[in-house]
Amino acid sequence: MTAQATPKGTSTGTPKGAWTITFLLFLFMLVNFADKIVVGLAGGPIMDELKLSPEQFGFLGSSFFFLFSISAIVVGFIVNRIDTRWVLLAMAVIWSVAQFPMVGTVGFATLVICRIILGAGEGPAFAVAAHAIYKWFPDEKRTLPTAILSQGSAFGVILAVPALNWIIVNHSWHYAFGALGIVGLMWAAAWLVMGKEGPLVHTVTTAATDPRVPYLQLLTSRTFIGCVAATFGAYWALSLGLTWFTPFIVKGLGFSQTDAGWISVLPWVFGAAIVLLTGWISQVMLTRGYTTRGARGVLGSVPLIVGGLILAVLPYVNGAGWQIAFLVVGSGLCGSIYVVCPPMLGEFTPVQQRGAVIAIYGAIYTLAGMIAPFVMGAVIQNAAVPLDGYMSGFTINAVIMAASGLLGLLLLWPNTERKRLMAQAATQPKFA
């Protein structure tokens, strides 16, 4: 079996400066996920100070995603026409400004409003960053940069959690938000000076072999549906980790806030290893002649199924240490799918439509982030004891992860998708 050939008109060389841009966008995602994790990390102090119930705190976690998907879709179409350089800069400024109101005394309503604004600014982040990186790397070289980009999320948590938790413990959770606002502005300044638009977009856009495909066909293709389904399950686990992992450690297992800060790093360390390993294995498989069905589709789906099965065992494990280990490994395996789905969508989506398609994909699967934290909060609040509620919530997560992995395994066939879509588009009126 052979890997899909590189489309005509696509350069196989990597332009000078590509890895500098990759590093800057890695930092972009690092700040992005540090912004996301702070509410979950400060969950105990926030609930205590504002007198929030588990259901209210779940609503706070979900509020981040209220405009997340809508913003992702709107900005996805914008980056088809406007340079990603300026869009990325605008998003970083919005993130930073949205953090500063929390430095002072705030109520629940203000906190929710600021999280909604932050979510609107961060909704398009990964899609726009991936679209920007793909202007610097040809298709056969995109998996590793995508893995590095994804690692910004893990390292954002790994590096930020100890620092933010120190601020929370020794000063106040309010100042943790302010610190993130300052860091966001620092990234924006660096990007303004060093950020550039990739050169490969011009070559690919003008290629005669890359006509437009109706969006209806792109969005109903089995690989697009498979990516959405698989990543939905992964993001359910991710959003629970962002919102509920630290409260579970503190209020469910009885650890102190100081200890919970260090423990909260573990899922992201494991997830970082999984993502980098997936990117490396995928790249090696492609160079050895595997199709992208195997090197991306199967490689991303199977860990989801395994992770779901591990989480299903969690309620039957005794001891806090083992429970943390099963939770870390089970939820951490979902990271593989983030590495492989954007390149799979890039395989069959015309470059002039890629920003919108990746953004719509992100907008749909991140709906899990709006649902999962609130569901967990409701389950905890209605349980006889909090620990039972957490275990029931993780069981729901296990079922969703395993089911999403199975759907991915059935539907992800990117190596044949482009040929089929191009043939289908050639026989139908162009109405995209």
CB 328: neighbour CB atoms within 10 A? Answer: 20
CA dihedral of residues 142, 89, 185, 63 (deg, nearest 10) = -80
Residue with tokens 């954007």: 342
> Between the CA of residue 332 and those of 185, 275, 338, 383, what are the distances in Å?
30, 9, 12, 26
Identify the helix (H) or strand (E) that includes residue 99.
helix 84-99
Tell whether 242 is covered by a domain. Answer: yes
Specify the pLDDT at position 11: 44
Residue with tokens 């990759």: 22
Tell whether 34 is covered by a domain. Answer: yes
Tell whether 3 is covered by a domain. Answer: no
- Phi then psi for residue 253, to 5 deg, are -105, -10
Residue 126 corresponds to which tokens in the numbers above?
Answer: 């990964």
Tell whether 6 is covered by a domain. Answer: no
Closest C-alpha among 358, 346, 345, 340 to residue 281: 340
CB 269: neighbour CB atoms within 10 A? Answer: 15
Residue 179 corresponds to which tokens in the numbers above?
Answer: 């610190």
Specify the pLDDT at position 411: 96
Give residue 319's region: left, alpha or beta (phi > 0; psi -120 to 50): left
Specify the pLDDT at position 261: 78
- Phi then psi for residue 203, to 5 deg, are -65, -45
Residue with tokens 């439509």: 353
Specify the pLDDT at position 432: 44
What is the domain extent for residue 67? 18-426
Euclidean distance between CA atoms 91 and 114, whole angstroms: 14
Tell whether 32 is covered by a domain. Answer: yes
Could you give the residue ranges of the DSSP H alpha helices within 264-385?
Answer: 266-287, 292, 299-313, 320-332, 336-348, 351-365, 367-381
Tell whether 92 is covered by a domain. Answer: yes
CATH code (residue 245): 1.20.1250.20
Residue 20 corresponds to which tokens in the numbers above?
Answer: 């500098």
Neighbouring C-alpha atoms within 13 Å toward the C-beta of 265: 15
**Could you tell me which residues come within 8 angstroms of residue 397 by beta carbon, excluding any fewer than 6 positions away?**
236, 237, 240, 308, 311, 331, 372
Residue 273: Cβ-neighbour burial (10 angstroms; 0-12, 13-18, 19+): middle
Closest C-alpha among 197, 211, 203 to residue 10: 203
Euclidean distance between CA atoms 404 and 152, whole angstroms: 24
Give the count of domains, the chain: 1
Tell whether 204 is covered by a domain. Answer: yes
Helix (H, G, I), strand (E, B) or coil at 157: helix
Digit-by-digit pLDDT tens for the chain (432 residues) are 333 334 433 445 677 788 889 999 999 988 888 888 888 888 888 988 999 998 898 899 888 888 888 888 888 788 877 888 899 999 999 989 999 998 888 889 999 999 999 989 888 888 888 888 888 887 777 777 877 887 777 777 788 888 888 999 888 889 999 999 999 999 999 999 998 887 775 444 444 456 778 888 999 999 999 999 999 999 999 889 888 888 899 888 989 888 887 888 888 889 888 988 898 899 899 889 999 999 999 999 999 999 999 999 999 999 999 999 999 999 999 989 988 998 899 888 887 787 788 888 988 998 898 899 889 999 999 998 889 999 999 999 999 999 999 999 999 999 888 778 877 766 665 544
Tell whether 1 is covered by a domain. Answer: no
Specify the pLDDT at position 427: 67
Per-residue pLDDT tens digits for 221-252: 999 999 999 999 999 998 898 888 888 998 88
